[in-house]
Structure 1
Amino acid sequence: MAVASPSLRQRARWRGIVAALTAGILAVAPAARAEPRPTVKQLRKDLAALLKESDKLITDYYNSRIAHQKAEKAEKSAREKLATAQEVYDQNSTELKAMAVAQYTGTEPSQVAMLAGTQDPAALLGRMALVQHLVALQDARLSGYAKVRDDRQRAQDEAAARAGELDQTVGELEERKKKAERQIERVRDKIDQLHQAPGLRPDGTFVPQLPQGPDHITPRMALVKQLIQERFEVPYGIGCYREIQDGGEHPLGRACDFMLSRGGAMPSAEELKRGDQIAAWAIKNAKRLGIMYIIYRQRIWHVRTGAWRTMSDRGGTTANHYDHPHISVY
């Protein structure tokens, strides 16, 4: 019996190993992989699509506003026409009623009475002409009344139709406005996701930063300030660095106050709402942007607890942070 050479035996052994490995790989289901985090390129692509859709919604909203304004004008015109028609209708009704009452009570000379009592042919013909004139006048009044009555009805129908159109456009306008606002909010969220706080370590903590630039704040605080300015606007100013060593983050360049009024005055309801929106945005983006805590309306929110806590009364609108949200970063 022939003996296989060592090289043949070795190739056969390798073929067996490969076959076993292949069978094992095919028998084992592949492990589920975590979804990869979206890249900046993908986020920018998504953002471009959202902006395009947002522009379309804003255009629809604008067109709805134009349609609403046209419906308002048409409804106003219809009401004015109806008021005019009603006035003419009432006047004609009064005159017609007076004529009917006069004929019924005999206060107007009847046609027969006017023709009787004269033998003069010329006078008789004159009176007959007068009677015909009165009859024609009554017919004209009746015919005119019918037209006035029909005009009034048409004006009434048109006013009702325009009012219905106005109600419909108001509803459509509100719905399109809400859609546009929701889409704009999604666009803004996508923009936020394009930014990551500088100095983030792999374990989720942040590298300490020194203040820099003319406003003496850290790059992390500068990013938060920039994003809030772009998203909300802050018409009453933003105060960040100050030299007073009060144990807070302002002297370290790690805090900013986003003012909602001037001179310590209580902000308007609209500005208080703006403050709520800024605080909510800061909470939503706290971990990604390195926000440590927020103070607003005599309350403090810390990223470690994730909840608001009431603070003691410090004796004033500004001291109690009613006129500004305060944001500190790591």
Structure 2
Amino acid sequence: MPPVAPVRRTAARLAALLIAALALGVVIAPLSPASAAAPAGLLAAPPGDHEGGTAALRAQLDTASKGWLDARAALNRSVSRQQQLAAQLKTINAELGVRDTKVGEIAAVAYRTGRLGTAAALLSSNSPEGFLDRAAALQQVAAHEDRALRDLIDTRDEATQTQAALNGEIQEQRKQVAVMAKRKQQAERALEVANNRPTTSTGGGSVQGTSRANATPAPRNADGSWPAESCSVNDPTPANGCITPRMLHALQQAKAAGFTRYVSCYRPSGSGEHPKGRACDFAAQKGGFGGVATGGDKTYGNNLAAYFIRNADPLAVLYVIWYKQIWLPSSGWKAYTGGNGDPSSDHTNHVHLSVY
């Protein structure tokens, strides 16, 4: 049997090491990028997936909002193309009228005068010089009439093709409108399942904000669609990590508009857009993510949410979550009750922004 004193000293040392390890774990565990390097006095977001709802819900909202934005961009392209084709068809029809009149005049002259055969016209010449002049004139008239007729036929063909393209654009628009309706239904159905009740529109007025600032649009493709982006730029918030260039743009625009309170973006764990660098949480309180925002802090959150909604199109907003509500580009404000009863998952202490 070993001596009692050494055993006690070993046990004491093990206990000390265990306490130190546990203490260290308490410090390390919450230091997800959402809370690392938070300034003194700030209440950083808790670790893990604290956005409320479920991974399935966020995947549905992500897919539905992306699909809706893609369909709207395609619809806008089609509408623009339709306008171009309509203007083109108007010009063609005007030209067609002119050419149709010209050919009609040629036909009328031929009917009144009767078409003299080429040989008869040439034989009526009184001299070799007259013969040659008459031959040249007849050739010029024939070429002019032939060109006028060909121009008329070409213009009619172009008008037919343009009208067909115009009809095609109208069909394309109907298709994209149907896709938008389907994506809207998908998002709202996902919220119904999550909220365990039918979604109801709040009329877009449940979050009253006074922000009137306009954001500089994020870069788009030439056709108006959003380019694919990866988590490729440094996250400038205390969360560190990475975000997409479009998320960085939205963050910078919000700060330029005066929304400069604590923000946390990248988070390696959980579901949704945070691990993809496409989401940021904007604290409503000056001290960071604290309790339920009230008074001036709630007003700050209202104004920030209103800013993102006002600039949803230039900033490629997928959705905004604030104060147990979610704003979707397809549907406006809807109830969002998937939280756990705490300020973070209920989004009563921060505004969540997700971008395309």
Q: Same fold (TM over 0.5)?
A: no
Structure with greater Cα Rg: 1
Using the size of structure 2 for normalisation, the TM-score is: 0.40
* Bigger proportion of residues as helix: 1
Using the size of structure 1 for normalisation, the TM-score is: 0.43
